Amino acid sequence: MRLIMLGPPGAGKGTQGGMLARALEVPHIATGDIFRQAVREETELGRRAKSYLEQGELVPDEIVVGIVLERLQKPDCGKGFILDGFPRTVQQAEALEEFLQKEGKALTGVILLDVDPEVLVERLTGRRVCRQCGATYHVRNMPPREEGRCDECGGELYQREDDREETVRHRLDVHERQTRPLRDYYEKQDLLHVFDAAQPIEDVFAAIMEQLGRGR
């Protein structure tokens, strides 16, 4: 399966993308995670992406597209993939389409997680992430068993730099202007499936699996 997770910051792309990747046994490719890792490791990519991430701006298309298309050529993508956070502009979507066409492949579908912006501010400002394995928690909706520690690996939980309220509001704004047009783009191709992402995590997941014909 070749799926795209679409939706505003905090909609649950990472949460659902991770669950789907485990269930479908395909890689979960999250551009935000790739950039944050590069920043942490102070690579050339990290140096180029850092200020965009901190300000909640999009990293320029020419940087993002190169990274993703290279990743999609790795052998583990043979069975499919889950793209989370990419594409985010029409230009990125076109580049992906062209790449898949050349490979003789097509997208299975685009999963749109739809939620009201006010819910998103609360979700993002309460989010905590494991420094070690990237697992995501929420101080109220999904607290770890031990405060500040990851259930999976015991790693330290931290708050993402761009999850401060001011930056969150800016990211939502950037999403409205630059990413929302992708809904029409995929709707026209008859690939868009909309899910009410205000529902509990397990319910959203069940609805997506059902749609994919993998429901129980």
* Binds 150: which of Zn ion, Mg ion, ligand AP5, none (CB < 5-8 Å by kind): Zn ion
Site map 93..132 versus Zn ion, x via CB under 5 A: -------------------------------------x-x
Contacts 24+ apart (CB under 8 A), 95-104: 95/61, 95/65, 95/69, 96/65, 96/68, 96/69, 99/69, 99/72, 100/2
Asked if residue 148 lies in contact with residue 156, where contact means CB atoms within 8 angstroms, the answer is yes
Q: Which of 27, 117, 126, 155 binds Zn ion (CB under 5 A)?
A: 155
Q: Looking at 2, 36, 123, 127, which residue is catalytic?
A: 127
Alpha helices in the chain (DSSP H): 13-24, 31-40, 44-55, 61-72, 90-102, 117-125, 165-174, 181-188, 201-211
| Closer CB to ligand AP5, 1 or 161, in the complex | 161
| Closer CB to ligand AP5, 66 or 215, in the complex | 66
- Write out the residues near ligand AP5 by the rule CB under 6 A: 7, 9-15, 31-32, 35, 52-53, 56-59, 64, 85-86, 88, 92, 123-124, 127, 136-138, 141-142, 162, 171, 197, 199-201, 204
Looking at the annotation, which residues are catalytic? Answer: 13, 88, 127, 160, 171
